[in-house]
Amino acid sequence: MRAVKSRWLINMLNDLLALMADGRFHSGERLGAQMGVSRAAIWKVLSRLEKQGFPIQRVRGKGYRIPPNAVLLDLPKIRASLPESLKDVWEWHVSQQIDSTNAQAQRLLQLDGPKRLICLSEQQLAGRGRRGRVWASPFAQNIYLSVVEPFEGGAQALEGLSLVVGLALVEALEEAGYRGCNLKWPNDVLLEGKKLAGILVELSGDFTAECLVVIGVGVNVLMRNESSELDQPWTSLLMSGQKQELDRNRLIAGFLSHLAESLRLFKREGFAPFVTRWEHRDAWRNRAVRVIAGDLVQEGVSRGVTARGALRLVSTQGETHINGGEVSLRLNDAS
């Protein structure tokens, strides 16, 4: 958030949102009295946040209201919500503003060497998804997270990894009370048919032996304004209207718990144990689709995934297995 630069302003925002986290209306006068500042100062801070698209409701005579638990990132709160076995697994890096968490993770690995770490940010200025697509990243509204995890066996041992990450995210959201979350091969999470989250997996180190994997995850939580940067239908947890958990700190902890458990199994047995669970949430299974790879377009019916995470595409020529990478999956317009 370019407008939020000073530590004083960040601290004020944190305290202000904490006071408003009950989801009720609060008058500017009362908020100012509680924080020891003027009503005008409260208006100024909330207006700056509102310009970034933060979901603030204002009603004359009542004051301001935000969604329940729409608070800033809080590392102690995230760690307190994790199982004891995960509290000290990662080195943590939390930023207010950054180009992208994946890029920050890569820089830290180059600077300090191999390690397990997590990068979080309130905002990304150059967030990106697969194939270089822009990922809209407004301040304090979504989850922008990267996890660095070591793997043995090189790139071949990573087949199906992005699918495992997506499944862990969907299962964490289901645990938080959200219904209607599904998976779109190979890297997207959909909610009620619209894009909710995306995954970007990048490698660092030796691609043939032991390597480090940077797992980037972006989840739309509080975002609600239309964005010209987005080229497909999208939604957020807030827009779903399901009125479940919106505290990004608890959502992050829940996802990391599911991810850690899934990665332990994936390292031992690969993607095969996840096939049934993934297909149960496959949004486009048994639907006519197009697979686009550069100038090559293949059409057929999606029949789920293989034990290695490849898409099973069935056409009049038979069954073809499509691996992830620089490919795009679209519903066939005729379906």
Kindly report the CATH number that applies to the domain delimited by 7-65: 1.10.10.10
All structural domains of the chain with their residue ranges = 7-65, 75-280, 288-331
Neighbour-count burial of 248, counting CB atoms closer than 10 A to its CB (0-12 exposed, 13-18 middle, 19+ buried): buried
Pairwise pLDDT comparison (82 vs 332), residue with the higher score: 82
- 7-65 and 288-331 share one fold: no
The whole-number pLDDT of residue 294 equals 86
| CA proximity to 55, closest of 18, 23, 77 | 23
Whether 130 is catalytic: yes
Does 3.90.1150.10 match the CATH number of domain 75-280? no
Which residue in the list 195, 248, 281, 285 is annotated as catalytic?
195
Q: Which residues contact 7 (CB under 8 A, 6 or more apart)?
A: none
Q: Judge whether 194 counts as a catalytic residue.
A: no
The CATH fold of domain 288-331: SH3 type barrels. (2.30.30)
Distance CA 176, CA 141 (A): 18
Q: What is the pLDDT of residues 16-57, one digit of tens each?
A: 999 999 999 999 999 999 999 999 999 999 998 998 889 999
The span from the CA of 181 to the CA of 82, in Å, is 23
Contact present, 130 and 111 (Cβ < 8 Å): no
Give dist(CA 311, CA 318) in Å, integer. Answer: 13
pLDDT, the chain, mean:
91
Catalytic residue chosen out of the listed positions 130, 184, 281, 312: 130
Q: Give CA–CA dist 161/239, Å, rounded.
A: 29
Which candidate in 58, 224, 308, 330 is catalytic? 330
The share of the chain scoring above pLDDT 70, in percent, equals 91
262-283 tens-digit pLDDT:
999 999 999 999 999 999 999 9
Among the ranges given (87-96, 112-121, 145-154, 207-216), the one the predictor scored with the smallest mean pLDDT = 207-216
Q: How many C-beta atoms surround the C-beta of residue 227 within 10 A?
A: 13
- Annotation says 65 is catalytic: no
Range with the poorest average pLDDT among 6-10, 182-186, 228-232, 318-322? 228-232
77-86 residue pLDDT tens: 999 999 999 9
- Asked if residues 92 and 145 have their Cβ atoms less than 8 Å apart, the reply is no
Q: What three-state secondary structure class fits 225? A: coil
